[in-house]
Structure 1
Amino acid sequence: MTAPMYTLLLLTLILANFPFLTQRGFGFLPLRQKRILHHIVESIIGFLIIGVIAYVLESRAGSVHAQSWEFYVTCVCLYLVFAFPAFVWRYFWQGRNKE
């Protein structure tokens, strides 16, 4: 793997966890209470941003390969696995410490 791929993986890890680590919408919009729908929307937007960055990196490295639906399902699952640590921290550990 090359340096851009490691950078992409690190950026994916950061963007997948970011919605669960802050109370603000997209990191800067003040919200009274951030609900699960906010987290889902932010995660989808983060996934799309990562997809665009990955497409640009692949197009700069050579030809872009056509992908079928299995590729995208696998990418979504990996993105959710990357988001799991912050999700657990937000909904399981934070809730336990409040009581």
Structure 2
Amino acid sequence: MSQSASVWVVLLVALVAANLPFFNDRLFGAIPLPSRPKSLAVRFAELVVLYFLAGGVGFLFERRAGQIAPQGWEFYAVTSALFIVLAFPGFTWRYLMKHRH
């Protein structure tokens, strides 16, 4: 896979991972929880775990390309902000739109 394709795959994985906590009431989309609906704190905890999983996918692609670069705190600040921005559609759908039940 080319580097350009790898970047798009990582962005797509991040987009899906950022919105996953908001589009279902299961933990990580697979484990049913006894409390319905999930609390916002659980959704944010899921968001943090999924951020690191999406970053792991990016790290694997980078290692496969053979160009692992050392990252400082600035990298993690920017990528976490980008991940939060990618989660905005799911947050908007869950908390800002009216749903008929």
TM-score by length of 1: 0.90
State the partner residue of 1:50: 54
Measured in 2, the distance between the counterparts of 1:74 and 1:5 equals: 16
Measured in 2, the distance between the counterparts of 1:23 and 1:69 equals: 32
TM-score by length of 2: 0.88
**Is residue 39 of structure 1 aligned with residue 63 of structure 2?**
no
Pick the structure with more helix per residue. 1
Letter of the structure 2 residue corresponding to residue 21 of structure 1: F
State the partner residue of 1:2: 4
Identity of aligned residues (%): 35
State the partner residue of 1:61: 65
State the partner residue of 1:22: 24
Specify every segment of 5 or more residues in structure 1 that has no aligned partner in the other structure, as ranges.
none
CA displacement, residues 1-33 of structure 1 (integer Å, 9 cap, x when unaligned): 611111111111001000000011111222222
Measured in 2, the distance between the counterparts of 1:68 and 1:75 equals: 11
Following TM superposition, the consecutive aligned residue runs of length 4 or more in structure 1 with deviations greater than 4 angstroms are none
CA displacement, residues 28-51 of structure 1 (integer Å, 9 cap, x when unaligned): 222222001110111111101011
Specify every segment of 5 or more residues in structure 2 that has no aligned partner in the other structure, as ranges.
none
Letter of the structure 2 residue corresponding to residue 15 of structure 1: A
Measured in 1, the distance between the counterparts of 2:15 and 2:30 equals: 19
Corresponding pairs, count: 97
